[in-house]
């Protein structure tokens, strides 16, 4: 802004003083010419200084509202949807600020509606699960041991699902559970694989778990379990043959013997489906989001056959 204003002043002065220089050069004696040129130079320097001061003031007047607007945009990006900068008196900047306020308000309303729906849906699901749990507790007392054992296994899964709902709701509200702890990935994998073995066996397939050099990691047990469930469901639905799980060095590696992921699907593999009514395609997107919210990383480390790697930071 300062340089552009000075450039305009220099051009205007050149246009105005050029005829003066010509007149002085032709009409005056040499001594008089030197005096006149000196006075003109003093006037020119004074004019440039005045123009520079004026340009600095104007630049500052424009910079302040732009800085306020930038800070407001930064707050919106950080999730603070309070009213952005006040009016500056400059139409163009005020138009941008008005658009920012409208956008922030829209996003705030959308997020609030999403949070409310998530809370309502979780409440309804939890109410239904409570009713199921009560009936299962009655079945636990059944005279037939097989019925009692099956009821106990289902009841344990119901309690796990309740805990998962709580954790997912916390992630939706805060972006993370805040309940990370030192966990053993082998224990979590073994627990969840036991729940999936019967489903794989019904399709004449099997799950093989191998343990390498392992160590404790910082993670939320429920979220790790959910990610393992997604990967196993994905292998059951889209894979083939034996599913091999390797747990080593803070990572869980899941692979199967299927055809893998086609090249066209790789770019959008972890993206949510654009069709909100789509019944499938959300699992891997949710799994990556849960991993990132829990300080982990989920990646496709091989296309054919498909291999997924879930990695967490080792516990200090």
Pairwise CA distance, residues 89 & 264, whole Å? 51
Nearest to 291 by CA among 216, 205, 230: 230
pLDDT at 201 over 80: yes
The pLDDT of residue 45 is 72
For 44-74, what is the HEC assignment?
Answer: HHHHHHHHHHHHHHHHHHHHHHHHHHHHHHH
| Statement: residue 282 has pLDDT above 60 | yes
pLDDT of residue 279: 47
Of 28-32, 113-117, 142-146, 175-179, give the range with the top mean pLDDT. Answer: 142-146
Q: Work out the average pLDDT over 193-204.
A: 90
Q: What value does the mean pLDDT of the chain take?
A: 77
Long-range contacts of 126-129 (CB under 8 A, 24+ apart): 126/162, 126/165, 129/158, 129/161, 129/162, 129/165
Q: What is the mean pLDDT of residues 132-148?
A: 84
- Mean pLDDT, residues 175-192 taken together: 80
Q: What percent of the chain has pLDDT over 70?
A: 67
Across the range 16-33, mean pLDDT stands at 55
Would you state the pLDDT for residue 296? Answer: 92
Asked if residue 20 has pLDDT above 70, the reply is: no
């Amino acid at each position: 802004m300062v340089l552009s204003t000075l450039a305009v002043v220099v051009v205007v002065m050149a246009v105005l003083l050029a005829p003066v220089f010509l007149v002085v050069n032709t009409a005056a004696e040499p001594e008089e010419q030197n005096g006149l040129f000196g006075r003109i130079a003093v006037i020119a320097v004074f004019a440039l200084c005045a123009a520079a001061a004026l340009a600095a003031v104007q630049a500052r007047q424009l910079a302040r509202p732009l800085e306020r607007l930038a800070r407001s945009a930064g707050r919106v990006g950080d999730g603070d949807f309070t009213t952005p900068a006040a009016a500056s008196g400059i139409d163009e900047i005020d138009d941008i600020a008005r658009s920012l306020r409208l956008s922030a308000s829209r996003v705030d309303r959308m997020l609030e509606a999403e949070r409310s729906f998530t809370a309502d849906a979780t409440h309804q699901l939890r109410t239904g699960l409570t009713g199921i749990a009560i009936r299962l507790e009655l079945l636990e007392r059944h005279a037939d041991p097989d019925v009692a054992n099956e009821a106990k296994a289902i009841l344990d899964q119901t309690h796990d699902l309740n805990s998962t709902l709580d954790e997912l709701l916390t992630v939706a509200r805060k972006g993370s559970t805040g309940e990370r702890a030192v966990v053993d990935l082998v224990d979590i994998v073994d627990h969840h694989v036991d729940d999936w073995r019967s489903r794989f066996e019904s399709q004449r397939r099997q799950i093989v778990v191998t343990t390498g050099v392992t160590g404790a990691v910082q993670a939320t047990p429920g979220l790790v379990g959910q990610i393992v469930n997604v990967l196993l469901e994905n292998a059951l639905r889209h894979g083939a043959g034996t599913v091999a799980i390797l747990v080593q060095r803070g990572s869980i590696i899941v692979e199967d013997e299927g055809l893998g992921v086609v090249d066209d699907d790789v770019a959008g593999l972890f993206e949510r489906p654009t069709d909100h009514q789509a019944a499938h395609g959300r699992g891997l997107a949710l799994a990556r989001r849960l991993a990132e919210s829990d300080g982990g990383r989920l990646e496709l480390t091989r296309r054919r056959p498909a291999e997924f790697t879930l990695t967490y930071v080792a516990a200090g």
